[in-house]
Amino acid sequence: MLPITALGLRLLGFKTVQSALSCGLPAPVYSKDARARTRAQQIAKMVRVAAVYGRFGATCLPQSMVLWRFLQGQGIGCHLRLGARRENGNFEAHAWVEVDGVVLNDAADVGERFRPLEPEGRGQKTDDRIEGFRN
């Protein structure tokens, strides 16, 4: 699923791939159940192993989208997070997944290293969100 997601992102774009991955998903359950979080961590580990040892290396975005899809498919409520930063004059973007505010596929401080971008309609307008990254 990682290579197909990565290829889809290159050819079709984020919104189209996210919509395709969303098809047929059950309604996610947002609970504080420790078993659900343990299951989510196991799934995150499987996706990470597939990304590292698979034939096609996958960057953070396809990894996070596949993890998000698998968790949603299990009915585990999660959030796909996108963030950005300027590092040494370069613009960098990153993606990760959280369950109950806990980062699954990155270090716990990823939200401090990358400014999380909120989905459209939540908080600031897109131009306001990226203003801090312009020189």
133 to 11, 22, 82, 115: CA distances (angstroms): 26, 30, 14, 10
Q: Does any domain span residue 3?
A: no
Q: Does any domain span residue 111?
A: yes
pLDDT tens-place string over residues 12-61: 999 999 999 988 887 777 767 788 889 999 999 999 999 999 887 789 99
What total number of domains does the chain contain?
1
pLDDT tens-place string over residues 21-34: 988 887 777 767 78
The span from the CA of 108 to the CA of 4, in Å, is 28
Its domain, for residue 47, covers: 29-133
The span from the CA of 26 to the CA of 23, in Å, is 9
Q: Does any domain span residue 15?
A: no
Q: Does any domain span residue 18?
A: no
Q: Does any domain span residue 125?
A: yes
Q: Does any domain span residue 33?
A: yes
Q: Does any domain span residue 10?
A: no
pTM score, whole prediction: 0.81
